[in-house]
Structure formats: C-alpha cells, structure tokens
Structure 1
Amino acid sequence: MSSDRSIQPELSDSKTDKQYNARQILTLQELSVLNDRSNRKGLVHLTGHLTIIGCSGYLWATNWGNWLLAIPALVIYGFSLAAMFAPMHEGVHRTPFANNRLNDIVAWCAGLLSFYNSTFFRHYHKWHHLYTRVPSKDPELTDLKPSNLGKYLLVLSGLPWWVDKIRGHFRAVLGQLDDCPFIPEAARAEVTRSTRWQLTVYAAAIALSMTAGQPWFILYWLLPLFVGQPILRFILLGEHTGCSLDANLLTNTRTTLTLWPVRFLMWNMPFHAEHHLYPSIPFHALSKAHQQLSSHFAHIDPGYIKVNRDILSKLRQL
C-alpha cells in the first residue's frame, strides 16, 4: 500500500483549475496546523466509539422481554456498529492516527465490523476523491440513486447496499475485479487476499455460533447491522445528493450541521465539504476547518432531517 498520508485528488480534466483555486483558500501554514495527526486523539475517540458499541450491545443482550429498553439499545448498538464505517473511512485516508500502521489496522478491523473491506475501499474511495461527482468517472455515481420515492425508500432500507457488498466481497474473493478500473492490476492480489481473510473471520464467527448452538452471529452482528444501516444511509445520502454534478469542490459536496452524538459516531464526517476540499485534515480538526471554510461552500444544511426533506421535496417535483 502507498504510504501517502491521505488521498489527494489530481484531476486532469478542464475543471482542474477550479479545484486548485479552491484549495488555495487556506494558506500552507494554516493547513499545516490543521493537518497535525494525533495517536492520542484517535485512540481516545476510538475507545469512546467502542465503549458505546459495548454498552449498547450489553443492554441489547441482557434485556430480552424488556423491549422498552432492548429496542432503543438495539438501535444504538446497530447504528454504532454500522458507523464503524467512519473510522474505516478515516483510516483509509490515514489521517486519524500519526502511525500509518495503526491507521491500516483500525481501518481493516472497522471494515470487518461494518461489512466493508478497507483494502478494496481504499482504491474505490481514491477514485471518488479524484473524480468527485464527475459523471462516468466517480464510482459512487454508479450506486442506486433516489430518483423517485420508491428508490429513495429502497436506498434508505440498505438492501441495495447489502446486495452490493455481498456480491462485491465474493467477486473479490474470486479475483473477479475486471469491472473495477479503480483497482490497479498490481493491487488486485492484495485486495483478494484481504477480502478472503475478512470472509474467513465471518465464517469462523458463524462456525462458533453454530457449535455453541446459539444465534450469536445473527443477534449480535447481522440483525444489529440491518437495523443500523438505514440510519447510516439516511446520513450518507446527505453527502452529495442534490449537489452539483461537476468537479467544483465548493458546490458538489454538502456539510450538514448535526447533533454532537451523530458527529461523534461519524467521526466528524458531517463536515463533508471540508473533508473533500482538504482530505489531509484529520477528523478532530474538521470542526475548526469548518469555521475557516464554511463561507465558501454552497451547501451547508442544519440537520439530516432537513436534508432528507429537501431530497423528498425535489423528488415530488419530478
């Protein structure tokens, strides 16, 4: 893997100048201060996230029959589990920790919990940053889009995500990556090996569950992740939906001002426009970056409920 600190876009199309001009908003000195990575801050945040998973999971496991407590615990547990996507995403950028080996390990383990493979995602996400919202280039644009109410609800359910992940993992295991132009030929063996290890861990967890005669794998991973995915989809829909379909980083990504618990579990990813403009800034500095950059962005919305209401409002007008 590359030892780059983060995924840095280097577009070669006619819209490159806009991106580089936007990236000149901060001075090199200002950016250097914001770019400071910290093992301590990363580990403290990770410990907090894992503590929420552990406590909510314990309440879910020990309150069968007391559904007034068990159901909210399941929702929190499921979302905090699905939200391990966030440290996986940050680790892929190699920004949450000063130690790159630690970034890679946390990214892989967080992907294991959230059903992503960090090795595959590193290459996929690099192209997303290289070609953000550029039609036929940004791989995220191939995902199902909420073009009507039915598709919006389908996307929100998480079902297309599950199908895509199951199909994608098994294709990676078999080395069938020809339809993934974002993965270089030299990296395919690594992606295949990483995915095989990940599915091996799942297989071992299923075997342990079956040997014990207990539905542990279903109750404490599969079901919670099914519950948590719609909440994660509700949040991720706000990142780019309704933004410009071009390479202008000031208009093609949205920052959403949301509650602290959501920002915490999402590792400050709601400051998404700031992240896309300067991917090298670690999660803990994004709120400070927002203070310096917010006036330049076209899309800053007060909460995910408003963002999704706006999405639905536009769908009704189609």
Structure 2
Amino acid sequence: MDHIQFIKSLDPVDKQALHARSNRKGLIHLAGHFGVLALMAIYIAGQGPLWPLLMVPYGIAIVFLFTLSHECTHATPFAHPKISDIVGHLVALPLLLPFTWFRYFHLAHHKHTNDPDRDPELAGGGRPTTRRDLALYLSGWGYWSGNALTIWRNAWYKIDAPYLPPRKHGAIRREARVLLALYTLIALSLLFSPLALWLWLVPALIGQPFLRVYLLAEHGLCPPVADMLENTRTTFTNRVIRAVAWNMPYHAEHHAMPMVPFHALPALHTKVRSHLKSTSESYTAFSRDYVRSLEEQTEAKHG
C-alpha cells in the first residue's frame, strides 16, 4: 500500500480528526520550547557554575527551531495561520532562514520529494557520498554559507528560482533586506558586548551537527520513488527528541499527509506504521547505516 492508497483507506471522520488544528496545543508546545531556551539563555548570560556545559543542549534547542519553522511553512502548528506566519518570521533570524522563501522552497521539496532532478533540497550535488563530504555536511558549513548566500541574492539580485512565485518576489526581497539589516546590528553589538556570541553564534554552530544528522535521516538512503511511505524515513526515538523536533521524526507520516499538525502525528503513526517502508530504530542506527553505505560505495569504486 502506498501513501495515496493509505489516505483513501482512512475513514473520513478519522481524517477530519487528524487534520484538526489547535491554538492551545501549538502555543503550549511553543511556550515549552521558548521557555527552555529562555531559562538556558539566562543561565549562560549570568555565567552560572559550569555554564559552558549548557552550550550543547542550548545550541540544539536553537537549531531545532528549524523544525518549528518547517511546520509553520505548512501553517499547521496553530489553528490561526497568522500565528504560524508570525512565528515563522520570528525564528528566521537565529536560523538564517528567510521564512517566505523557505515556505516555497519547502513546498517544492514536498512536491518533488527525493527526485534528484527536481527536489530543491538535492540541488548542488545532493547528499554526502564520501566520508569527507559527510564531515563537511555535519559541520553545517553548507547550511550557513548557503543560507547566507540565499539571503544576499534575494536582497540584491534577480529572484528566479522556478518554485518562487513572481507575486512573492517583492516580499522575499524585503524579507532578505530586513534580515541583513538585523544581522548588521547584531554584528555591531559585538563591539560593545559578547552576548550575541554566547547566546547565538557559538551555540548555533555547536548545535548544527545534531540537526544535520536528523535532517539526513529524513530522506537519506531512501529511494527516489513517488511513494511517500518509501521515499521518506520515520526514525524511532525518545520523547525528548520528538518534542524538540516538533514530532517530525514521524517524517514519512508528515510527507504522506503534510497538513496533519505536529500534535496529531503520533495518532497518524499508529494507523500507518505497518505500511512504512523506510524506518530506522534510532538516529545512531541510521548514522551507522549511512557510514556503512559510504564505505560500500568506496569499495565498489575501487573494487
């Protein structure tokens, strides 16, 4: 059974329940994520005992705002889409991820998932194919440099990506210029205080490799087919990781029915689990499989 057959098999009442959005559930989860960030930021800023040890969990919590931004592109975390827009633009700053641009980039990814010729996530060479490529990927260099270049080009050059609708070009350009202005202010603030360094730059750099592993697992080692239950992976993990990632480890479920809000994905998972074709027991298990696949590719080339 592929994802289309699965959706057709759902009872209309169940389907309607799965698609129900909730301001309450979304805002509670948002308050939890932002609250944890705020508590750690206060402790780091006050340089409490052993404060550098918090840089890892704090950095992870920052970069995993990506999963929140991702959900906001679908306008599913809250009942009112305007809240998703506000939150998406808010988290664009620490992520170097312009929200309006990302919305259409991500929708194109959903339309052409894992298609090596049309999925924008695979533009520029696709996923790592050697250990060296993997190390560079995990460093986050491609993410930070690529997003910085995207913002700069959107601000000052022609916007011509085929997935960006012309009616949104003006908004995308304004968004990029606002972000550049804000980053300039942040850079100037470093002349007077190191807070931006310790509350954003350093922890975000530290946290990015963890996000890279998570994102690589979403579609890495999955075949370039049309079935969302096969071209996308669900990774089984613990509640903490699912919470910080807004339940996106249930990723095949999300791709099969992208308008199901994050809080309903566990319920969707119980219905579709027996039909999933690409899964991993953990992110550690996936990482081992990925490294093994690189070794096998290397041996095949030199065999």
TM bucket, shorter chain: over 0.9
Change (3 A) 1:298 1:18: closer
- The aligned residue for residue 38 of structure 2 is 54
Is the CA contact 1:256–1:270 (under 8 Å) kept in the aligned structure 2? yes
Matched, 1:265 2:247: no
- The aligned residue for residue 296 of structure 2 is 317
The offset of 1:145, in angstroms, is 1.3
Q: Could you tell me which of 154, 173, 176 is aligned with 1:172?
A: 154
Q: CA RMSD in A?
A: 1.6
Provide the TM-score with structure 1 as the length reference: 0.89
Q: Secondary structure at the match of 2:8?
A: coil
Give CA deviations for 1:172-217 in whole Å, capped at 9, x if unaligned. Answer: 1114322x1110222111111112122222222333343xx21222
- The aligned residue for residue 10 of structure 2 is 26
Q: Secondary structure at the match of 2:217?
A: coil
- The aligned residue for residue 151 of structure 1 is 133
Q: Secondary structure at the match of 1:308?
A: helix
Change (3 A) 1:25 1:154: farther
Q: How does 1:40-119 map to 2 (within 5 A)?
A: 40-63=24-47, 66=49, 69-119=50-100
Change (3 A) 1:30 1:175: farther
Give CA deviations for 1:3-38 in whole Å, capped at 9, x if unaligned. Answer: xxxxxxxxxxxxxx9653343242322111011101
Structure 2: runs of 5 or more not aligned: 298-303
Provide the TM-score with structure 2 as the length reference: 0.93
The offset of 1:290, in angstroms, is 0.5
Q: How does 1:1-318 map to 2 (within 5 A)?
A: 20-63=4-47, 66=49, 69-143=50-124, 144-178=126-160, 180-210=161-191, 213-318=192-297
Q: Secondary structure at the match of 1:199?
A: helix
Q: Secondary structure at the match of 1:220?
A: helix
In structure 2, C-alpha distance between the alignment counterparts of 1:96 and 1:252, rounded to whole Å: 24
Instruction: Give the structure with the larger helix fraction.
Output: 2
In structure 2, C-alpha distance between the alignment counterparts of 1:19 and 1:231, rounded to whole Å: 29
Q: Secondary structure at the match of 1:239?
A: helix
Q: Secondary structure at the match of 2:219?
A: coil
Structure 1: 4+ residue segments shifted above 6 A? none
Structure 1: runs of 5 or more not aligned: 1-16
Aligned residues: 296
Is the CA contact 2:234–2:279 (under 8 Å) kept in the aligned structure 1? yes
In structure 2, C-alpha distance between the alignment counterparts of 1:244 and 1:219, rounded to whole Å: 40
Is the CA contact 2:6–2:272 (under 8 Å) kept in the aligned structure 1? no
In structure 2, C-alpha distance between the alignment counterparts of 1:247 and 1:192, rounded to whole Å: 33
Change (3 A) 1:25 1:175: farther
Name the % identity: 34
Is the CA contact 2:78–2:84 (under 8 Å) kept in the aligned structure 1? yes
In structure 2, C-alpha distance between the alignment counterparts of 1:133 and 1:22, rounded to whole Å: 20
In structure 2, C-alpha distance between the alignment counterparts of 1:309 and 1:236, rounded to whole Å: 15
Is the CA contact 1:244–1:251 (under 8 Å) kept in the aligned structure 2? yes
- Bigger drift between 51-60 and 303-312 goes to 51-60
